[in-house]
Amino acid sequence: MIEARRLHILRAVADHRTVTAAAAALYLTPSAVSQQLAALEQETGHRLVERGAKGVRLTPAGEILLNHTNVVLAQLERAEAELAAYRSGEAGTVTVAAFATGIAEVVAPAVARLAASAPGIRIRVRDAEGDASLPMVLDRQVDVAVAVEYRGAPSADDPRLTHVPLYAEPFDAVVPVRHRLADCAEVPLAELAKDPWIGPYPGNPCHDVVVLACENAGFQPGMEHSSDDFRAVVALASADAGVALVPRSALRGMDLAGVVVRPVDGVAPTRRVFAAVRRGAEEHPLIRPVLDALRAAAEA
The pLDDT tens digits for 5-50 are 899 899 899 888 899 998 998 889 999 999 999 999 999 999 999 9
Pairing of the two strands 161-176 and 244-247: antiparallel
17/56 Cα distance (integer angstroms): 5
The rounded distance, in Å, linking the Cα atoms of 61 and 81 is: 30
Task: Give the span between the Cα atoms of 12 and 22, in whole angstroms.
Answer: 5
Taking the C-alpha atoms of residue 288 and residue 243, their distance in angstroms, rounded to an integer, is 41
In degrees and rounded to multiples of 5, residue 96 shows phi and psi of -120, 125
pLDDT value at residue 149: 85
What is the maximum alpha-carbon separation in the chain? 99
- What are the φ/ψ torsions at residue 297 (nearest 5 degrees)? -65, -40
∠ CA 145-146-151, rounded to 5°: 95
pTM as predicted: 0.68
How large is the average pLDDT for residues 180-189?
96
Residue with more model confidence, 130 or 199? 199
Q: At what angle do helices 4-16 and 30-44 cross, to 10 degrees?
A: 120
Average pLDDT over residues 261-287: 91
